């Protein structure tokens, strides 16, 4: 009996949704401007993720095969890059960490060094100004660059 890849992924995503829900419930903010508080968004996303994961488990797609080794390795490297991004985000700041990760992701999917670097620079700067100017969200400039800024 073969287990479809969709079902395995669905079960893993339900575990992730449970983890997110537990972390959201434990989130305590002493003062909040919002009437629903900061728990609502992650709880809503975990509920949505659970429902969509149940669909994957109960009705897996026609193509239930695992990806080829090269694609699976690339997907694993994407996950590693996103984890590295999360770790380096505060130390390097938004612009530098985003530029490095976007450049690495572009190279991972066969962009030339020039195109990957240009994409990383443009996306990190545009993203920074969209978050700060358009949305009013403050982003870290990085501990390593605090003395320069």
Provide mean pLDDT across the span 32-51: 79
In this prediction, residue 63 carries a pLDDT of 63
pTM, full prediction:
0.63
142: left (phi over 0), alpha (psi -120 to 50) or beta: left
Q: Does pLDDT of 3 surpass 70? A: no
Task: Tell the burial category of 2 from Cβ atoms under 10 Å away from its Cβ (0-12, 13-18, 19+).
Answer: exposed
- The DSSP letter of residue 75 is H
Band (87; pLDDT cuts 50, 70, 90): confident
Reported residue count of the chain is 149
Integer angstrom CA distances of residue 108 from 28, 38, 39, 84: 39, 35, 35, 15
Q: Does pLDDT of 37 surpass 70? A: no
37: left (phi over 0), alpha (psi -120 to 50) or beta: left
What 3-state class would DSSP assign to 130?
A: helix
Query: Which helix or strand (DSSP H or E) is residue 102 part of?
Result: helix 94-108
Provide mean pLDDT across the span 16-36: 78
Question: Which distant-in-sequence residues (6+ apart) come within 8 Å of 61 by Cβ?
Answer: 4, 6
What 3-state class would DSSP assign to 66?
A: coil
Provide mean pLDDT across the span 22-37: 72
Provide mean pLDDT across the span 121-144: 85
Q: Which range has the worst mean pLDDT, 24-28, 61-65, 117-121? A: 61-65
**Phi, psi (deg, nearest 5) at residue 101:** -70, -40
> Which of 47-51, 62-66, 85-89, 127-131 ranks highest by mean pLDDT?
47-51
Q: Does pLDDT of 25 surpass 80? A: yes
In this prediction, residue 32 carries a pLDDT of 58
Q: Does pLDDT of 56 surpass 90? A: no
Q: Does pLDDT of 1 surpass 60? A: no
């Amino acid at each position: 009996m073969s287990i479809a890849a969709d079902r395995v992924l669905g079960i893993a995503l339900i575990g992730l949704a449970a983890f997110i829900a537990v972390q959201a419930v434990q989130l305590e903010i002493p003062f909040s401007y919002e009437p629903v508080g900061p728990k609502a968004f992650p709880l809503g996303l975990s509920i949505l993720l659970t429902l969509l994961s149940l669909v994957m488990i109960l009705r897996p797609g026609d193509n239930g095969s695992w990806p080829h080794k090269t694609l699976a390795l690339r997907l694993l490297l994407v996950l590693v890059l996103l984890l590295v991004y999360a770790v380096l985000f505060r130390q390097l700041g938004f612009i530098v960490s985003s530029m490095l990760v976007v450049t690495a992701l572009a190279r991972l999917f066969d962009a030339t060094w020039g195109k990957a670097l240009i994409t990383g620079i443009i996306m990190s700067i545009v993203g920074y100004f969209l978050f700060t100017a358009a949305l009013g969200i403050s982003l870290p400039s990085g501990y390593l660059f605090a003395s320069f800024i």
